[in-house]
Structure 1
Amino acid sequence: MYAIVDIETTGGKYNEEGITEIAIYRFDGHEVVDQFISLVNPEREIQPFVVNLTGINSRMLRDAPKFYEVAKRIVEITEDCIIVAHNASFDYRILQLEFKRLGFEYKRKSLCTVELSKKLIPEMESYKLGKLVRALGIPMSDRHRASGDALATVKLFQLLLDKDSEKNIIQQAVKTEIKKKVATRLLDILENLPSATGVYYMHNAKGEIIYIGKSKNIKKRVNQHFTGKNNKSKKIQKQVAAVTFERTGSELVALLKESEEIKRKRPIYNRAQRKNIFQFAMGSYVDENGYIGLRIEKADGRKKHITTFTNMSQAKHVMFKLTEDFKLCQKINELHSSKSQCFQYTIKECDGACINQEDVTSYNKRVQEAIDRYSYANKNMLIIDKGRHHDERSAILIENGQYKGFGFYSLNYQITKREVLEKIITPMQNNRDVQHIIQSHLRRKNRFKIIHLQ
């Protein structure tokens, strides 16, 4: 659990400042679950430059609560939380200073979004909050007011969590929480999981990830692990101390993220997972008459395939459907064995390529259209799908036929401006597994919105 904090102060000499406004958003890594926003009477003079910057003056604070009146609420909303702020050393120091004046020692772990941004989004022109969120396409209002700055920091922190491919932020948070819960029962873990699409991470008592999975219903899937009777389930039940998760909204994003995370983290109970999730592929050839034929063949990492399949049944289903949709020849596509015309020709669903009657150029043009539907080779495009909540969408970036990664956006200019798009996309590895995942999902008609890029 995190407490996203922003504080406005009076300015002045070091360790003599007072708080004029505070905003705290309690954030579980997915959504804000509580918030506290208040002006504060600092009982001291506000520096003129601060008044000009924030618009907060002494007259506005005359009837505002003093710090001791809001201190209890601050303690409660930040309990068991990691303090997160943009330039956290300042905000955390000011909080400690105010509590010290009351004779209370205030201690929390803290994270700085300036430092995290420099690490996870390098080479930005500026890491000042306003310029940084503007460059990332994050909407911001009430600049230099606690609520506006804190809310922008929430959105920035969500983006940083997405980009933290090593999961260092989450693992540290889990480790902190586990220490405070000596015995975490499986039912307690389940209670905090959503019935949503995403990726889940099982941690041991050290915070280490021992298993990664994906599901359209995270709670239901984790419950199956917890009630399973096989050896792997029993070992997981014995060792699991916490389960964290990331909503994706999109099943495709969940599959891509799961594949990447397993390869990157190599959890102990994922090692039995097959290296290749596909066995068959669609290839092409040119026959003696110049017609392009499509065929099912064994998947081979040394070859470039049009698309791949999990099993022969899936391969045949797709091949028959493709042949029918584009009015191709079953014989040329090696789906019908015959020395003369194919069966489809006898029922007038083939124009006679099997007996060299159809124009080669016309036939091959339809074959190329079929290949274009089932392959994204050399294409530049965005695959748009569901987001984590109703006003958000996910975007999967393909450049020159290579999978580059994915991101989430809520404003159209975040994906229409190339420089912003590249910053919100979390880079991912392109490999045969993700190519298979993307190709198999693209075969499902009307499932996604495709934006072709220049």
Structure 2
Amino acid sequence: MKEYVAFDLETTGLSPENDQMIEIGAVKIRNEKIIGKYNCIIYPEVPVSDFVVELTGISREMLSKGIPLKDGVEGFLDFSEGFPVLGHNIMFDYSFMKIAAKSVSRSFEKKGVDTLVLARKLLKGLENKKLGTLCSYYHYVNEAAHRAYDDALATAVVFEQMKKEFPREKELFEPKQLQYRVKKQRPATQKQIRYLKELVKYHKIKDSAKVDGMTQREASKEIDRIILNYGVMKK
């Protein structure tokens, strides 16, 4: 795999169905050289915990100035079109992106390579196979760990170093089809619809999304968005 897009996401949590990406970072590589970069912070539609803010270093002010999820996702899909992908524990990021792509009526079917899988096969002597550990092993300083672009670049560096260290393992470095099936979304429950309508009425929101026809995930995100921006209903 001589050309590819290494990418990484920062998210509000670990569930691709219920959480949201807040940063997309990617670097396009051809013959070990950077030929393109993509990075954006996304305005969160769900609450972001203090833990995530502290871990990533993405401040609430930065989040408040983020771009809409739709714009960030479509930008990345255009950037990565026609290229296989690379990631560390890639199925985590792939699942988030595939769900997000479907939400904007786009496809994200990719071949790819996972540096975590490679490390487990090739670097068995390491204490663990975290990206930071691999960076230390290859004497690479990741200036901003847990930021999407910097982690994507670090993943690309580690991948290229692995190829040099294990030149006979060419098959391991070839991209393979990534498999993740987006779960069929169930219609919003009557409880969700009722509560959402009560929130909209209580806060006198005129620009709220249409409730009828929402999925459970969409209703949950809309409830979180309203509470985040307007607060809960007081008794």
Same fold (TM over 0.5): yes
The residue aligned with 2:71 is 69
Equivalent residue in structure 1 for 2:168, among 165, 168, 178? 165
Q: 1:163-242 maps to which residues of 2 (within 5 A)?
A: 163-169=166-172, 172-173=174-175
Percent of aligned positions with the same letter in both sequences?
28
**Distance between the aligned counterparts of 1:150 and 1:109, measured in 2?**
17
Q: Secondary structure at the match of 2:28?
A: strand
- Secondary structure at 1:6 match in 2: strand
Q: How many aligned residue pairs are there? A: 174
From the superposition, tell whether residues 154 and 78 of structure 1 become closer, same or farther in structure 2 (CA, over 3 Å): same
What's 2:115 paired with?
113
Q: Distance in 1 between matches of 2:113 and 2:35?
A: 19
Structure 2 Cα separation of the partners of residues 133 and 45 of structure 1: 32
Partner amino acid, structure 2, of 1:93? S
Give 1 or 2 for the bigger CA radius of gyration. 1
- For 1:24 and 1:85, the matched residues in 2 are separated by 10
Query: What per-residue deviation string (whole Å, max 9, x for no partner) do you get for residues 156-204 of structure 1?
Result: 010122224131155x45x99xxxxxxxxxxxxxxxxxxxxxxxxxxxx
In the alignment, the residues of structure 2 paired with residue 64 and residue 129 of structure 1 have an alpha-carbon distance, to the nearest angstrom, of: 26
The reply to whether residue 50 of structure 1 matches residue 52 of structure 2 is yes
Whose relative contact order is higher, 1 or 2, with alpha carbons under 8 Å and at least 6 apart? 2
Aligned to 1:342: none
- Looking at structure 2, the residues matched to 123 and 12 of structure 1 have their Cα atoms a distance apart, in angstroms, of 28
1:39 aligns with 2:41: yes
Q: For the Cα contact (< 8 Å) 1:8–1:22, is it kept in 2?
A: yes
* Partner secondary structure for residue 142 of structure 2: coil
For residues 86 and 77 of structure 1, the distance between their equivalents in structure 2, rounded to whole angstroms, comes to 19
Equivalent residue runs for 1:322-341 within 5 Å: none
CA 67–156 in structure 1, closer or farther in 2 if over 3 Å, else same: same
2:20 maps to what in 1? 18
1:33-62 CA deviation, whole Å, 9 max, x = no partner? 111011111321112221121122333111
Q: Which runs of 4+ in 1 moved over 3 A?
A: none
SS in 2 for 1:76: helix
Q: Matched residues in 2 for 1:67 and 1:87: separation?
A: 22
Alpha-carbon displacement from aligned partner over 1:197-237 (angstroms, at most 9, x marks no partner)? xxxxxxxxxxxxxxxxxxxxxxxxxxxxxxxxxxxxxxxxx
What value does the CA root-mean-square deviation take over the aligned residues? Answer: 2.0
Greater strand proportion: 1
Query: Taking structure 1 as reference, are residues 61 and 2 closer, same or farther at Cα in structure 2, changes over 3 Å only?
Result: same
SS at match of 1:143: coil
* Cα displacement (A) at 1:77: 1.8
Q: TM-score, normalised by structure 1?
A: 0.36
What is the alpha-carbon distance in structure 2 between the residues aligned to residue 160 and residue 122 of structure 1?
A: 13
Q: CA deviation at 1:12?
A: 5.7
Preserved contact between residue 2 and residue 29 of structure 1 (Cα < 8 Å): no
Question: Residues 45 and 58 of structure 1 are in contact (CA less than 8 Å); yes or no, is this contact kept in structure 2?
Answer: no
**TM-score, length-scaled by structure 2:** 0.68
Which residues of 2 match residues 383-422 of structure 1 at below 5 A? none
* Deviation for aligned residue 1:13: 4.4
Unaligned runs of 5+ in 2: 178-235
Structure 1 position 129, deviation (Å): 0.9
Q: Is the 8 A contact 1:22 1:37 kept in 2?
A: yes
